[in-house]
Amino acid sequence: MAQPAGGEHQVYSAKSDVDDGAGRELVTAYALKRPDGEWSLLVVNRDQENAHRVRIAFRGDGGSVTGLAGTVEVATFGSAQYKWNPPRTRFIAHAETAAAPTVVTYTNGTADPDGPILRSKQSGGKDTLYDLPSASVVVIRGKVAVP
C-alpha cells in the first residue's frame, strides 16, 4: 500500500526462495519504502494449489538481518475473497423441440465470493511467519526493526 498524499516512495528489489523444484519462483515479492518510513511488501503466491508461510528478512549493510517489528498490517486477497464461476451451460444431444438450440447458456459467469479484502494485524518480529493462501495477493505493511 503506497502512502497517499505524495512524498517520495523508494522501490527495492525483493527475492523469494519458494520455488516449484524446477527453479521457478512460486512466491514473488515487491518492496516499497514509504515516505513515513514504513515498508509495504506486495507478496504474490502463484501456487494455485498450496498455501505457503514466509518469513520476511531485510538485509542491511554489513550483512545484518532484521524483520518487521511492532504491529504489522496484512491485507489478503485470495480465493476465499474472490472466485470466478464460469458461465453454466447445458448440452442437449437432441433438441427438446424442433429448431431448438442444443446448447443452452444459463448464466454469463459470476464472481462469488467477490470480496472484501481480508484485513488483519499481527505482531512482527525477525522470526514471524506470514500466511500466504494459495493463489493470493498479500500486502504486508509495517516498520523495520532496528538491528
pLDDT in tens, 66-95: 999 999 999 999 989 998 888 877 666 666
Strand order in the sheet with 118-124: 10-12, 27-33, 39-45, 136-144, 68-77, 118-124
Whole-angstrom distance, CA of residue 67 vs CA of residue 54: 12
pLDDT in tens, 22-59: 989 999 999 999 999 999 999 999 999 999 999 999 98
pTM greater than 0.85 (yes/no) = no
Stated length of the chain = 147
Whole-angstrom distance, CA of residue 126 vs CA of residue 134: 24
Residues 6+ apart with CB under 8 A from 74: 119, 120, 121, 122, 130, 138, 139, 140, 141
- The residue assigned the cell 498455501 is 51
